[in-house]
Amino acid sequence: MSDSELHQAEQEALLWQARLSSDLITHNQRAEFQQWLTKSPENRAAWQDVNAFWTGLDSLTPADIGLEPAKPVLPFAKPRRLSVKTGLALAASLLLTLTAVYQQLDFYPADYRSSTGQQSEIALSDGSTLLLNTSSAVSVDFSAQQRLVTLQRGEAFFTVAADAKRPFVVKTGAGEVQALGTAFDVKLRDDGEVDVTVFEHAVKVSSADGQIQARLAAAEHLQFGRYHLSAATPVNLSRAGAWHQQRIVFQDKPLSEVAAELERYRPGKILIVSDGIKNLPITGVFGAADTDLALQALEQSLQIKVRKITDRLVLLSAK
């Protein structure tokens, strides 16, 4: 079993998973799936891996992923005819250029960074490690009194080495996260809001205006900005940590949110140009390394059209 065969089988399994999650699946397509499943041991192994990933997400049921036909997962909007004008593409191209320039300026002082669609694992001098998600950047400033990491863009998963004399602090423009234990995730959103998820032990969260969550425990999440701090809520760690395995998981998320998340893993922009499809609910698991495949799965599962204008511009519209 070669690596290329395994990769192809995994991509096909993810595509079938998305198809089977749709209420548009036909009897013929289900028969095609069974034929694909029995075609090779690589296909069966890949399908088992995809299902194993799903069963690890304990809040999801078989019906959520299309293995039981009791509940449709991906309803579709009424088809609409769309005319995409050249001016839209030109405006979007200008937006892409400005965005690229802004990101380069934003990244200028970074010590470590990851490119779009890639991850980077970094071992720090104190024994801590961090995993940078796609298009992320951090700067590191360790002293005898403190270990400071500034998250300038994107998302990072921190595994912190113990050092009682030097607190480990992650700084953002909206506030700070101080490690009280081992493993946690910090995500800086495009709007400046920050998501914090704790995987092991706990952290202390402080907003820029002085609000404090003294202890955010394992399997809890909160969001904060410069002037607010949300209450802690339980979180599914398997789903929250899916990106560590280069997977992207959605459960009943609107297409607008799905497109924004996929956009993080590819250069350029994904624009939804039909208002009627923005709130279509999506449930699925996709490989972060191949967002073209994810877009293909969405097109086949929903009444949407995917138009790739350039390598850096994708338009989503109603069929």
232 and 130 within one domain:
yes
- 79 domain-assigned: yes
Q: How far apart, in whole angstroms, are the C-alpha atoms of residue 105 and residue 272?
A: 27
- Domain boundary among the residues 207, 236, 265 is at 236
Full residue range of the structural domain in which residue 59 is found: 3-83+246-318
pLDDT tens-digit profile of 258-314?
Answer: 999 999 999 989 999 999 999 999 998 999 999 999 999 999 888 899 999 888 899
- 264 domain-assigned: yes
pLDDT tens-digit profile of 65-81?
Answer: 333 333 333 433 333 43
Q: How far apart, in whole angstroms, are the C-alpha atoms of residue 115 and residue 44?
A: 33
- 113 domain-assigned: no
Helices (H), the chain: 3-20, 27-39, 41-55, 86-106, 237-240, 255-263, 291-301
Three-class DSSP category at 312: coil
CATH number of the domain bearing residue 184:
2.60.120.1440
- 106 domain-assigned: no
- Domain boundary among the residues 236, 266, 292 is at 236
Q: Which residues is 286 bridged to in the sheet? A: 248
250 and 229 within one domain:
no
- 200 domain-assigned: yes
165 pLDDT band (50/70/90 cuts)?
A: very high
pLDDT of amino acid 301? 87
Residue 159 above 70 pLDDT?
Answer: yes
- 302 domain-assigned: yes
- Domain boundary among the residues 169, 201, 236 is at 236
pLDDT of amino acid 56? 57
pLDDT of amino acid 5? 60
230 and 133 within one domain:
yes
77 and 9 within one domain:
yes
pLDDT tens-digit profile of 77-89?
Answer: 333 433 444 444 4
Structure tokens at 267: 């250069």
10 pLDDT band (50/70/90 cuts)?
A: confident
228 and 126 within one domain:
yes
pLDDT of amino acid 2? 56
261 and 203 within one domain:
no
User: Count of domains in the chain?
Assistant: 2
Higher pLDDT, 59 or 203: 203
- 105 domain-assigned: no
Q: Which residues is 254 bridged to in the sheet? A: 281
CATH number of the domain bearing residue 63:
3.55.50.30
